[in-house]
Amino acid sequence: MKARKGLKNQGMVSDLLSRNQSENRRQVNMVCIEDLVPENHILRDIDKAIDFNFIYEEVKNLYCEDNGRPSIDPVVLFKIVMIQYTFGIRSMRQTIKEIEVNMAYRWFLGYDMLEKIPHFTTFGKNYMRRFASSNIFERIFERILTEAVNAGFVDASAVFIDSTHIKASANNKKYTNELVKIEAKHYQKELTEEINKDRLSHGKKPLKDDDDDDNNGNNNLDSSDNHQTKSIKQSTTDPECGLFHKGEHKVEFAYTAHTACDKHNFVLGCDVSAGNVHDSVMFDDLYKDVVSRFPQIEMVGIDSGYKTPWIMKQVFDSGRLPATPYKRPMTKQGFFKKYEYVYDEYYDCIICPNNQVLSYSTTNKEGYREYKSNPEICKICPHRSQCTESKNCQKVVTRHVWDEYIERAEDVRLSPKGKETYKLRCETIERVFADAKEKHFMRYTHFRGLARLKMQVLLTFACMNLKKLAKWKKKNGLLMSDPLFILLLFGFGRKIRVTV
């Protein structure tokens, strides 16, 4: 009985075990590609969120209409690239392979199941011959951002600016040591005017172009071209990238993406530089671009790398407030911190921790006022070991001519609004970078050259904005085929609240 029962159970198991028939692979079915794409697929929402026909007008002057063979539809070309950056596919070759077997991708391009997909080199050739010298990628980014603004999704009352590095396609061991000129500060004219104004107010002569300051006659100028120089490591693989210092020990060739976003993580602007360019150098152009498009900005969230006198001056002079972090004093351990030397504005002097006066000496060409102590007093000071190690027993404290803006920024930092705004950085600009690297393949690049990197960054952020735009339009019933959209189109439902 037990043996029969076992056989019976085995029979039940064999009956329940399903076996797929390989012959099904050769069955012929009458099916429409529309039915093969899930209704909730993100590409359906993207296709409804924006009309891609605007690309025809943008590239019209890049194509010849009266001769040559017919081109591949430019909208298809850019949709292929958007598929790559939306889904974080590593290369154009792999993107074409994915499109060949993915019905949703074919549907998005308007291709049927048997239509041949363009070769993977097609976009690269069009980039070199048509798009490289145009601003088409900037125009696509701006158009998508404009759609988000018009839909009411962008909250630019506060913007957040930061940068992230992108690992370059370059061998860290292949480089040459190059001697390059140190470029003058882009705000040197304004700084020089402020320096000379400050020197005149103290009864000193204004600095000439080739002057240093009152204490140093040697300008360390290169004898051949009368310019200061420095030595850098330049990659032989990609000369346009720069050596990026990641932490204290790790260095690698990289590019830097300087980015601004709003409270809802919509990217408002971006720029790309070599990895050895400091964040503060790239701030001006990005800030001016974002402010010109969004004059309603009230707060600017930035990290300590941007906390410089010039940037603070620029933000305050534009009528906005900076939200900055605490910046640790950069002094030796065991020595007095700089904030322990108190500035007396009325007498224009510095009071040291021992209540001695450091008098004004000069304003140097870097824009710093120098306040110096009396060496005779410092020689017998009981705190000299915590104050200075100079051989002449003289303490020198510097204060920038625009240091008042740093002090104002500190007041904003300690205010409730400043604290609240700065806390949003971790869920806004930092999250934008995290998504770009984890989901959109922006951790490193296969491209070489600054122009191609800027294309990659612009398209990545454009696709991120487009995904968010499509999802939020769907959430609020604003997609072009939604019933609510039809009501809004004809003027009904104008009081419907947009949910973000």
The answer to whether 46 and 466 have CB atoms below 8 angstroms apart is yes
Where does the pLDDT of residue 418 fall: very low under 50, low under 70, confident under 90, or very high at 90 and above?
very high
Q: Predicted confidence band at 19 (pLDDT cuts at 50, 70, 90)? A: confident
Backbone angles phi, psi at 180, to 5 degrees: -125, 155
Which residue type occupies 227?
H
Can you read off the two tokens belonging to residue 370? 């120098």
- Tokens standing for 106? 């074919």
Percentage of the chain with pLDDT > 90? 66
pLDDT-derived band at 182 (thresholds 50, 70, 90) equals confident
What pLDDT shows up at residue 24? Answer: 74
Percent of the chain past pLDDT 70, that is, above it, reads 88
Angle, helices 279-293/309-317, rounded to nearest 10 degrees: 10
Q: Is the pLDDT of residue 480 over 80?
A: no
For the chain, domain boundaries = 33-147+467-489, 338-401
Predicted pLDDT of residue 494? 45
Its pTM stands at 0.86
Confidence at residue 188, expressed as pLDDT on a 0 to 100 scale: 86
Q: 244 has which bridge partners? A: 252
- Cα separation, 41 vs 34, in Å, equals 12
Please, are residues 253 and 243 in contact by the beta-carbon 8 Å criterion?
yes
pLDDT at 214: 56
pLDDT at position 394 is 92
> Higher-confidence residue: 181 or 118?
118
Closest by CA to 399, choosing from 184, 189, 185, 195, is 195
In DSSP terms, 342 is beta-bridged to 351
Q: For residue range 134-157, list pLDDT tens digits in order.
A: 999 999 999 999 999 999 999 999
The predicted structure's pLDDT at residue 329: 82
Nearest to 433 by CA among 265, 213, 245, 204: 265
Residue pair 360/368 in contact (Cβ under 8 Å)? The answer is: no
Calculate the dihedral angle through the C-alpha atoms of 257, 262, 265, 269, rounding to the nearest 10 degrees.
-30
pLDDT at 35 over 80: yes
pLDDT computed for residue 3 by the predictor: 53
Q: Under a CB-based contact definition with an 8 Å cutoff, are residues 353 and 373 in contact?
A: no
| 398: β partners | 370
User: What is the spatial distance between Cα 376 and Cα 392, in angstroms, rounded to a whole number?
Assistant: 9
- Report the alpha-carbon distance of residue 468 to residue 436 in Å, rounded: 13
* Phi/psi of residue 126, nearest 5 degrees: -65, -35
pLDDT on residue 227:
61
pLDDT in tens, 183-226: 778 888 899 999 999 999 998 999 876 555 555 544 444 444 45
As a whole number, mean pLDDT of residues 161-172 equals 93
* Tens of pLDDT, residues 69-111: 888 899 999 999 999 999 999 999 999 999 999 999 999 999 9
What pLDDT score does 13 carry? 52
pLDDT recorded at residue 223: 41
Give the span between the Cα atoms of 380 and 359, in whole angstroms: 18
Pairing of strands 342-344, 175-181: unpaired
- Listed in sequence order, the DSSP H helices in 151-267 are 188-201
Confidence of residue 491 (pLDDT cuts 50, 70, 90): low
pLDDT at 218: 46
Sorting pLDDT into bands at 50, 70 and 90, what band is 15? low
As a whole number, mean pLDDT of residues 7-25 equals 62
Distance, in Å, from the CA atom of 357 to the CA atom of 399, rounded to the nearest integer, reads 15
SS3 24: helix
Inform me whether the pLDDT recorded for 268 exceeds 60: yes
Residues 279 and 373: beta-carbon distance below 8 Å: no
Beta bridge partners of 250: 246
pLDDT band at 498 (very low <50, low <70, confident <90, very high): low
